[in-house]
Amino acid sequence: MGSFGWSAAVWLGWFGLFVALELLGYWHVTPWTTLSEFVWTVEAHWRVTILAFFLGLSILPLHLVARWP
């Protein structure tokens, strides 16, 4: 298997694990919540985290399009 094959297998595996954990949290099968519910709770308790998430989401398009930083 070439480099692309290994990369695809690893990242698809991580994606599958993430989706499985999210669905289990969404259906309340497990004691944890989904990622979005967790972020919502953190933002409600510590308002300064809203700025951190906003800045992170603002820089993400720059990184994806312009390869910066």
Looking at the structure, tell me whether residues 69 and 43 fall in a common domain: yes
Looking at the structure, tell me whether residues 69 and 39 fall in a common domain: yes
Looking at the structure, tell me whether residues 22 and 50 fall in a common domain: no
**Confidence at 69, pLDDT banded by 50, 70, 90:** low
Query: Quick check: 4 pLDDT over 90?
Result: yes
Expressed as residue numbers, the domain containing 25 is: 1-30
CA 52 to CA 34: how far, in whole Å?
19
Query: Quick check: 12 pLDDT over 90?
Result: yes
User: pLDDT digits over 14-61, tens only?
Assistant: 999 999 999 999 999 999 999 999 989 999 999 889 999 889 889 998
As a whole number of angstroms, the longest Cα–Cα distance in the chain is 47
Residue 17 half-sphere exposure toward CB, CA atoms < 13 A? 6
**Confidence at 63, pLDDT banded by 50, 70, 90:** confident
CA 24 to CA 42: how far, in whole Å?
20
Does this model's pTM top 0.75? My answer is no
Looking at the structure, tell me whether residues 18 and 49 fall in a common domain: no
Looking at the structure, tell me whether residues 19 and 42 fall in a common domain: no
